[in-house]
A and B are shown apart, each in its own frame.
Chain A
């Protein structure tokens, strides 16, 4: 137990940035908009979170700023994909290039600096529970917030009127439009809100996880989140499960590396990527070749209002 508990606790910590990003992308995709720019948006979030925390001394401001900048950057994606009906795959790739480039260019003078960031805050009572306590309740506030966010996103999508509109727009924009829902407005809102959470996931990496800014520090986590949305079948609870699974692999990999091993580091670092492919294949095999339940039918397709038949 003494060996496993720290690894599990580390799994939750490492899984949290991926969880934020996955939840954000679920919100976006539920409305039918595919955003493949996660990697770039997370980097922008990580950069923004870091410099604002560095300059104000307050991690809270850093995180708030990252959220807002994430929303702002996603205006580009929303405008091009929703208003101008651009190809969503290519637009997402452009977002990744832009975000990666921007964060590297602007952040180069901050490389090597550190911040005190956000620390651990054990929850009184809960944290002294055996196993569950140290794993889930001896964490930083952002981890606790992610628990709430999982519930909140679930509630938003499945229990609110806006969630119903979101699902309608994502599954059948034509019927939604006929029912008087503004397809564009719902898609804009979902894309912007989702982008905010993706960016927050990036900020977690710099402000809470590592307390510094490193170029390309997301190392593919944005893409892993895109894959996890499929693994989660667009459901927030399964997103949490998937994120902690990846967090676990990362924690294990770091533990093995720190413990001194004959396995070369590059081979160990391949694990999350291999796991992503494995997980995707597994879910695809299980669900057969048809569409997934929960997968928005109109995902990635632009909506042409005037071509209604």
Chain B
């Protein structure tokens, strides 16, 4: 008997077209599967997953306070994601948003410490510039090394994250420590003129406008402008870019500078708007989460804002989990890893279709 003839076939075919709806289904299915496997994992640890997820939802999106907290976390997430999204557009792997964010926070704290004035406009404007420059140069250094000697930017940006965080520790445990803080490693609180306003008696601050403005500018420059087209070509086909006379090397440095500057600005907003003093532990990995957000939003600036809100909720939910069920914040990290795994897997179904055919004799 010929068994082969009866076998059903699994065939993988390349897709030539995918509709927006199908794409959305794939992303939703990926996230649902990630949450389900996260549930399985929690169950194996002896935690009731539905209670945990409920707790996360309740903490982050069920009332005004939750939503305002989520928005407060959306700000740094969105700006860091816009930063890495810009670099990823050129296929430059800036994994250093975390370090650039920290450098931005350090720079504006230094400004407050050494050049304090009473005028809020002067203060905030100068802090904005200082932080953007600090983050920008932190990123541009890796960009320069890549452009000049082809040094792997993934590793340099990552190493500079570690260096930035140690630099932060050096200052807050050292000469910047508030003498009245009873030994806690933190700087004195920022004076009134160095603060961004907060709204609606919540922790949502004016940094939100920074994020929206940066998104709008990026959308115009990267999606609509010539330069944006240049960096996209450089990223997708470096050789074609060379033939077209695009100066890729210069653009790598520029993109890394701007990317770092946006992350640095996020650091300033976080300091002046939310924490209002420098202390270790304010950088909880937004720069890494930003990579997922940018990837998930397909690097589109407006989608990034929207996706950041979702991840902001994940962070706030995670904090609630920590308080209510004594699960550490690393639970959120695992969920992020899982979401990313399933999104990557789902990517396959964007470009391929699996068809089952049942052959009859």
A28 at the B interface (CB under 8 A): no
Question: Within the complex, which residue of A97, A230, A267 is in contact with B333, where a contact is CB–CB below 8 Å?
Answer: A97
B239 at the A interface (CB under 8 A): no
Per the bound structure, the CA–CA distance linking A289 and B148 in Å amounts to 8
Question: CB-CB < 8 A to A306: which residues of B?
Answer: 12, 14
B154 at the A interface (CB under 8 A): yes
Q: Is the CB of B155 within 8 A of A93?
A: no
Question: CB-CB < 8 A to B95: which residues of A?
Answer: 93
Nearest B residue to A284, CB-CB: B149
B44 to chain A, nearest CB (A): 10
A87 at the B interface (CB under 8 A): yes
Per the bound structure, the CA–CA distance linking A40 and B12 in Å amounts to 32
B106 at the A interface (CB under 8 A): no
Question: CB-CB < 8 A to B291: which residues of A?
Answer: 90, 93
A36 at the B interface (CB under 8 A): yes
Per the bound structure, the CA–CA distance linking A270 and B166 in Å amounts to 7
Q: Is the CB of A84 within 8 A of B330?
A: no
B345 at the A interface (CB under 8 A): yes
Q: Is the CB of A280 within 8 A of B163?
A: no
Question: CB-CB < 8 A to B292: which residues of A?
Answer: 94
Q: Residue-by-residue, is A269-307 near B (CB-CB < 8 Å gives 1, otherwise 0)?
A: 110011011001100110001000000000000000011
Q: Residue-by-residue, is B11-29 near A (CB-CB < 8 Å gives 1, otherwise 0)?
A: 0101000000000000000
Nearest A residue to B142, CB-CB: A277
A8 at the B interface (CB under 8 A): no
A86 at the B interface (CB under 8 A): yes
Those of A98-150 within 8 Å (CB) of chain B: 98-102, 104-106, 108
Those of B332-361 within 8 Å (CB) of chain A: 332-338, 340-341, 344-345, 347-348
With A87-B347, A94-B340, A98-B341 in contact, do A277 and B159 touch (Cβ < 8 Å)? yes
Q: A277-B145, A306-B12 are in contact. List 10 more A-B contacts (CB 8 A).
A: A91-B340, A97-B337, A104-B330, A104-B333, A264-B170, A264-B174, A273-B163, A277-B151, A284-B149, A289-B150
What are 12 A-B pairs with beta-carbon distances under 8 A? A36-B154, A90-B291, A90-B344, A98-B341, A102-B330, A105-B330, A227-B152, A230-B152, A266-B173, A273-B163, A284-B145, A306-B12
